[in-house]
Amino acid sequence: MRLTFVALAISAFGQCIRARHFPTSDTAALASKFRVSSLDASSIRVNTTLGLGDLQSNAANANLDPALIVCQSANCAGNCLPFDLAVLPNDECFSALTNQFVSAAISDPTDARLPFQVVVGSTNCAATATLPTVNECFNLNGAVFNSFARIA
């Protein structure tokens, strides 16, 4: 009953998105094997074009969709949350459901070039940095990162 009320309340106040994601232990193991690079505050740009959305995570099984993986530790290790990029709408900013993440990766089993960009950013995507490649972990430096978006 309480869960139903929360779902209805979220739907009433904004778009409710369900993000499919991998089990956390599998995600951390996968992401920690990626090559590691850095993104710092010098690559961040101010963004005023994104809408804001609400996001709920869902413990669905892994699939072949590309996923954004955000981690609270460097090198895409430790506590990580994955989000299924195939179900997220374009040009909406989402909170990562954590206070802050310090590394991020786009996992794509096909290793293909995506038809959209993925950005990570500060609160409400006020400033964002693009994750430039798939299957590579980026340590995020010089700012507080706690939101992300899929950009068409």
Task: Show the tokens assigned to 132.
Answer: 């430039």
Predicted local confidence at residue 135, as pLDDT = 93
Element (H, E) at 12: helix 2-13
Residues of the chain short of pLDDT 70, as ranges, are 1-28, 41-64, 98
Tens-place pLDDT, residues 123-145: 899 989 999 999 999 999 988 99
Q: What's the rounded Cα separation, in Å, for the pair 131 and 128?
A: 10
- SS3 for 26? helix
Which pLDDT score is estimated for 148?
A: 95
